[in-house]
Amino acid sequence: MSYAHQPVMLREVLEILAPAPARRYLDATVGGGGHAREILGGSSPDGVLLGLDWDDQAIDAAGRALARFGDRVILRRSGFTGAREVLEEMGWSGVDGMLLDLGLSSHQVDTPERGFSFVNDAALDMRMDRRRLLDARELINTLPVADLERLIREFGEEPQARRIARAIDARRRQRPIDSTRMLAETVARAAGGTGGRRPRGSRTPATHPATRTFQAVRIAVNRELENLEGFLESAYELLRAGGRLVIISFHSLEDRLVKRAFRKWGLDCVCPPRLPACACGWNRKTTAITRKPRVPTSEEVRANPRARSARLRAVERIAS
């Protein structure tokens, strides 16, 4: 199966990163290489891009898609949490532009055996990095019901988390839940049927009752929020002065972490307000490029409905 993925908010990414010759770029979630291809094109003839991804299929696809750029592109199988180590290994002191696209690729969603979607019946997996031992099947069948409820409520923002967790527990006591369809059917029955949810008066397409639970399980299996939060502690250090970081998130939990980190990076002091004088030693790291998150145009959403929940934020590193 070919690796298909349409890069989200490509025009906005290129506008902000403004790729130019003789500069270094990091696409820390390279996927199929859609954003990377255009960054390399804009930075011809000698701009260099490092692409990271922990999905082996993504790295293979990016290698094919970007082969024509020769040694101007370097690919490594690593999550964005390993960016610092990879840059140090390469002897790079920093980059002029960095991109994180936190969404699932269309390939991951549309490949049944990856187990991300309930559209096709497949084994529960959901691992972006298939070297990891924990998959969705093990998590769903072994997590204590109270922890399962908390996971579904917090990561899926699911109001019926308790009913769903109890239904999953009752089903797995009969036999292990080992397929996407089995999990989706269990959740749908607990949530009140197999029909989709749509807010009253909304024209947004209805979502399947299991959507939020699948999101929650995927986030937990891949430690997505922990990884993002850890990365955001010091990601500005990977940028050269004037370097720009663009992050595209796809749900409120991610966007909240990005917003909080970017706000902190833009402060001159992080001391508690009650202190009479600054004692933190902090100084401003970045300036905001986007005061509010940018969203896809209506034309892009029509062409690529999976872009509809995207939120883009960006900052620029100031000289330290």
Rounded Cα–Cα distance for residues 308 and 178 (Å):
30
> In the chain, where do the E strands start and end?
24-27, 48-53, 73-77, 95-101, 239-249, 286-288, 311-317
Where do the structural domains in the chain lie, given as residue ranges?
10-105+226-317, 111-222
What is the average pLDDT across 29-51? 97
Average pLDDT in the chain: 91
Q: What is the pLDDT of residues 163-192, one digit of tens each?
A: 999 999 999 999 999 999 999 999 999 987
Task: Please say if the pLDDT value at position 194 is more than 50.
Answer: no
Under 8 Å between Cβ of 286 and 266: yes
pLDDT band at 110 (very low <50, low <70, confident <90, very high): low
Q: What is the pLDDT of residues 116-157, one digit of tens each?
A: 788 788 999 999 888 888 999 999 999 999 999 999 999 999
Q: Which residue has the tokens 């034309």?
A: 299
**pLDDT the model gives residue 145:** 97
- CATH code of the domain occupying 111-222: 1.10.150.170
Residues above pLDDT 70, as percent of the chain: 91
Task: Please say if the pLDDT value at position 297 is more than 90.
Answer: yes
pLDDT band at 199 (very low <50, low <70, confident <90, very high): very low
Q: What is the pLDDT of residues 220-256, one digit of tens each?
A: 999 999 999 999 999 999 999 999 999 999 999 999 9
**pLDDT the model gives residue 275:** 80
Give the DSSP letter string of 2-50: ----PPTTHHHHHHHH---TT-EEEETT-TTSHHHHHHHHHTTTT-EEE
Architecture (CATH level 2) of domain 10-105+226-317: 3-Layer(aba) Sandwich (3.40)
Rounded Cα–Cα distance for residues 155 and 215 (Å):
7
What is the average pLDDT across 99-104? 92
